[in-house]
Amino acid sequence: MRLLDLFSGIGGFHKGFEQAGYEFEWTGFSEIDKYASAVYKHRFPNAKELGDIAAIRPERDLPDHIDILCGGFPCQAFSMAGKRKGFDDTRGTLFFEIARLLRHYIDTGKPINHFVLENVKGLLSHDNGRTFAVIYGVLTDLGYTVECQLLNTKWVLPQNRERIYIVGHIGSGSRSKVFPITEDDKRHYEEQLSRTQAKGQGQGVQHTQDRRGCALPRDGQVKAVLTPNRVEKRQNGRRMKEDGEPMFTLTGQDQHGVMVKEATSKGYAVAQEGDSINFCNPNSKTRRGRVGKGIAQTLDTGMEQATIHPNKIKILGNLKGQGGHECHNVHSTQGIAPSVRENHGKTTMVYKQPAIRRLTPIECERLQGFPDQWTSKGNLNGKVVDISDTQRYKQCGNAVSVPIVQLVAERIKNGQV
């Protein structure tokens, strides 16, 4: 089979189709971000790099037949987080480049059998639905039967990420539909994942079975701090000092977790191990829902999410207590050792305060269903290079969720459409 992967990013569509059992003899990918392209080339070394979609000339750059076209066309023009200019934004008009390529193959008498497109939820409501109506009309006018569904990554991974998936097959008829994706489809994915785990395969994906997978401990990240007006006030019976981090909306609360300031009647939410914290616009007085209970919120390109570094008991040797004696009591690293008991030993157990840390690139990969370290290396100008964390966060935020693509691809592969 042959795959045309447009706005390909780091290969989420390609990976999802592969996990659904597809094998491609030819793959072409189009992406203008050089670091995303580098990752794609590293992971799929036999794929043909096509560059900017606007520069693709199918009679010159593409084979005479393609089976599947896929693409997460630029969403900023339709996103609720952006200005939502839609087709007035040049990024929005890139959809018509997809239509141009589809039309080429129709005109040559060898239409592309299926397409799978992805975009943000806001596409459905933009301009009172007229933007989506234009997209739907263009695709149906080309001769495709079109269906769509809003799918949420949280069905299979611990990330709340709603995206619209648009699927088309050439022609009309009474064939079964891809959508809706049902509970049976989700259970099928989970069963398949369990089988993969049992075989010891699927590095990275295996870690996402746990819905608290966004809280994977790692030492030494961002500390919890007090709000500015409480820096020198007593908290839980002791005085704490400002840590210097810009997270001024957060307060450390010992073993109970971390209080996160929110514009609610309660005024805060408590984040504990396994929860996510969205620290975008930390000084906002109107922000709600910063804490995701056991689930990450939608990953973005700037990676504005964190999680809790859990409480720990650390064993130290020869720590001096009051009076210079060694002690083995449990105490906080924020203060001094307590009074030493008569039967003191030569070690002490230190209670480490809960801290806030940013999600790691590996965690972001897992939250999107990629194997561990998928974005860590890239092929840049023929040389394998390390990819910076900044670029890795950006790539994960822009990516499609691999297992969601897999669910859609399986419905197509099984001959139901």
The residues that are catalytic are 75
Q: What is the DSSP letter of 293?
A: T
Q: What is the DSSP letter of 130?
A: H
Residue 354 dihedral angles phi and psi, to the nearest 5°: -65, 145
Q: Where are the alpha helices (DSSP H) in 56-117?
A: 58-61, 95-107
Task: Write the DSSP assignment of 2-62 as a string of letters.
Answer: EEEEES-TTTHHHHHHHHTT---SEEEEE---HHHHHHHHHHSTTSEE---GGG--HHHHS
β strands within 242-339, DSSP E: 250-252, 258-261, 268-271, 276-278, 291-292, 305-309, 312-317, 330-332
In the numeric block, the tokens 């001094």 are attached to 336
Residue 13's DSSP bridge partners are: none
Q: Which residues contact 56 (CB under 8 A, 6 or more apart)?
A: 30, 50, 62, 97, 101
Residue 314's DSSP bridge partners are: 350
Rounded to whole angstroms, how far apart are CA atoms 47 and 40?
A: 8
Rounded to whole angstroms, how far apart are CA atoms 150 and 119?
A: 10
In the numeric block, the tokens 């996160």 are attached to 260
Residue 291's DSSP bridge partners are: 277
The span from the first CA to the last CA of the chain, in angstroms, equals: 17
Residue 152's DSSP bridge partners are: 162
